[in-house]
Amino acid sequence: MTLRIGNASGFYGDRFSAVREMLTGGPLDYLTGDYLAELTMLILGRDRLKDPDRGYAKTFLRQLEENLVLAREKGVKIVTNAGGLNPAGLAAAIRELAGKLGVDVAVAHVEGDDLAARGEEFGNPLTANAYLGAWGIVECLNSGAEVVVTGRVTDASLVVGPAAAHYGWGREDYDALAGAVVAGHVIECGAQATGGNYAFFTEHHLGTPGFPIAEIEADGSSVITKHPGTGGAVTVGTVTAQLLYEITGARYAGPDVTTRFDTLSLAPAGPDRVRITGAKGEPPPPTLKVALNRLGGFRNETTFVLTGLDIEAKAALVREQLEASLKDHPPAEIRWTLARTEHEDADTEQRASALLHCAVKDADPKVAGRAFSGAGIELALASYPGFHVTAPPSDASPYGVYTASFVDSSSVPHVAVLPDGSRVDVPPARETRELSDVEEPPLPESFSGRLKRAPLGSVLGARSGDKGGDANLGVWARSEDTWRWLATTLTVEEFQRLLPETASLPVRRYVLPNLWALNFVVTGLLGEGVASQARFDPQAKALGEWLRSRYLEVPA
């Protein structure tokens, strides 16, 4: 019988009502929820500093308060990584909640990912968490658990675990596991698979997109869909966009299997249904990724509004004045960005204005706080004509720094704590293989048809995001002709010309012919990760849309 796994959260703060919507919208076997982005681990780490009993996603507990009885009545099991830094604490809180609600629910959790006790090995970060795989979840489900809480597992593991338990897969059923990884990767970000953040959104009436469902077969193949009557759309395009999200090349490494994204085939399977087949898997690498978050210092910012004439001169004046005011206590880092948003002979004041953004960082909260704020405010009557800011500068706020490390998988405990309290050690993979890039496939024959000057987005879709300090940008074609043009035209050099911010950085291009897609990884574009706020778009979420807005000679 086909296994139906739904998702109700793509991040900590996603739509609160999604759990109930998924439970009432149609049949499900499992409901998953992904709450742990890189930034979330920093937030939970700061929560844990204030209260050692916290460190988990409190929103999830409130969602269960409204829906645990409903899930139990419908026989839907729940698997979530909302345990964050304290899965045992969340599991205990769920048992307490179940008692108050008068419902008997078997709760289990997975632990071992938290490597904070090995802090010296990693430079004493605030949080250190290894990405575990799916087999702890499998142990919990096989013991009869109806709610499974994890800490830092890979996002796709929330789907791989239920699928492996349901079908009885072994640890070396690599192709089936790879298929489940693909399904998990597609639905892990919630509504991004059902039309959210989609490049060609104007082609669909999105409304409020429903959350996605993966119907997984015994061989690991799947159909991506959503509950009938919900908003959004599930198309080959929306699924392709999510497949390209935050990956690198053909090999997608995980703790249970390395999935070959160059083997996948997508096909429509009815309205709002897309079938994914062909996934091939290989042994996982011998190491686990470890996400490290540390407090980097304090930051502050303000935005000066420059209106009318002499924009460059106004920007130069206020920059000179502010930096002179800070010379006795200069911040460790000061960054200026001028956005030329003004229009000539504008019909509104806003359209006549440009924005000059100033951001500072320092280890001393007074330097980034009162010293910077005071210097900015003191210029109010002493600087360029029309001086004002979008909001007054405030106190400094702490910022985080994200880095990744790798450790031997055999050095990381992986423990399933079953509903009866017994503990099961989950061994690392018996067979591993060092990760390497796939040799670039042959490129198609060059496109020889008629061209016209137009935005790239008129013929190409894109989706972008972050992995620590690196940006990922996937771009795909929707016809074979356009793919032939894309594969031979959008080289690394052309990519860097179109996006000048990337010109001085290392850029890798990966070719995925089966998806008519390229994926670009820009090393270092995001500095020390999203929490450090290194650039205007700190998670590179709109980097793909910037690329799509650039003009080139594209197929007519």
Query: What are the tens digits of pLDDT across the range 252-297?
Result: 999 999 999 999 999 999 999 999 999 999 999 999 999 999 999 9
261 shares its domain with 304: no
Task: Provide the 8-state DSSP code for 29.
Answer: S
pLDDT of residue 37: 87
Please state the φ and ψ torsions of residue 144, each to the nearest 5 degrees: 100, 10
Same-domain pairing of 218 and 354? no
Query: What predicted TM-score, i.e. pTM, was given to this entire model?
Result: 0.95
Q: Same structural domain for residues 359 and 480?
A: no
Same domain, 282 and 305: no
Same domain, 275 and 144: yes
179-217 per-position pLDDT tens digit: 999 999 999 999 999 999 999 999 998 889 999 999 999
Indicate whether 206 and 251 sit together in one domain.
yes
Decide if 440 is inside a domain.
no
Would you say residue 120 lies in a domain? yes
Q: What is the pLDDT of residue 394?
A: 86
Cβ atoms within 10 Å, residue 438: 14
Structural domain count, the chain: 3
> 500: Cβ–Cβ under 8 A, 6 or more apart, which residues?
none
The token pair that represents 67 in the structure block: 């829906």
Q: Do the bridges between strand 147-149 and strand 107-111 make them parallel or antiparallel, or are there none, so unpaired?
A: parallel
340's CB contacts (< 8 A; 6+ apart) are 311, 354
- Evaluate whether residue 459 is within a structural domain: yes
User: Domain check: are 419 and 523 in the same one?
Assistant: no
Distances (CA, A) of 43 to 49, 52, 131, 311, 447: 10, 13, 18, 38, 48
* Whether residue 373 sits in one domain with residue 279: no
Q: Which of 336, 368, 401 is the last residue of a domain?
A: 401
For residue 528, the model assigns a pLDDT of 83
Whether 203 is in a domain gets the answer yes
For residues 242 and 348, membership in a common domain is answered with no
Residue ranges making up the domain that contains 349: 295-401
Is residue 445 in a domain? no
- Taking the C-alpha atoms of residue 230 and residue 210, their distance in angstroms, rounded to an integer, is 5
pLDDT attached to residue 529: 81
Distance between CA 104 and CA 215 in Å, rounded? Answer: 28
Is 443 contained in some domain? no
Look up residue 387 and give its two tokens.
Answer: 């001086």
Same domain, yes or no, for 287 and 322? Answer: no
What is the model's pLDDT at position 391? Answer: 85
Judge if 248 and 299 occupy the same domain.
no
Residue 319's domain is classified under what CATH number? Answer: 3.30.70
Instruction: Show pLDDT as tens, one digit a residue, over the chain (556 residues).
Output: 899 999 999 999 999 999 999 999 999 999 999 999 888 999 999 999 999 999 999 999 999 999 999 999 999 999 999 999 999 999 999 999 999 999 999 999 999 999 999 999 999 999 999 999 999 999 999 999 999 999 999 999 999 999 999 999 999 999 999 999 999 999 999 999 999 999 999 999 888 999 999 999 999 999 999 999 999 999 999 999 999 999 999 999 999 999 999 999 999 999 999 999 999 999 999 999 999 999 999 999 999 999 999 999 999 999 999 999 999 999 999 999 999 999 999 999 999 999 999 999 999 999 999 999 999 999 999 999 999 999 877 899 999 999 999 999 999 999 999 999 999 999 999 999 999 999 999 999 999 999 999 999 999 999 999 988 999 999 999 999 999 999 999 999 999 999 999 999 999 999 999 999 999 999 999 988 877 776 788 899 999 999 999 999 999 9
The two tokens of residue 29 are 């076997």
The structure tokens listed for 524 are 């270092």
**Residue 510 counted as domain residue:** yes
The pLDDT of residue 452 is: 97
DSSP 369: I
- Assigned domain for 430 exists: no
- Residue 417 and residue 355 share a domain: no
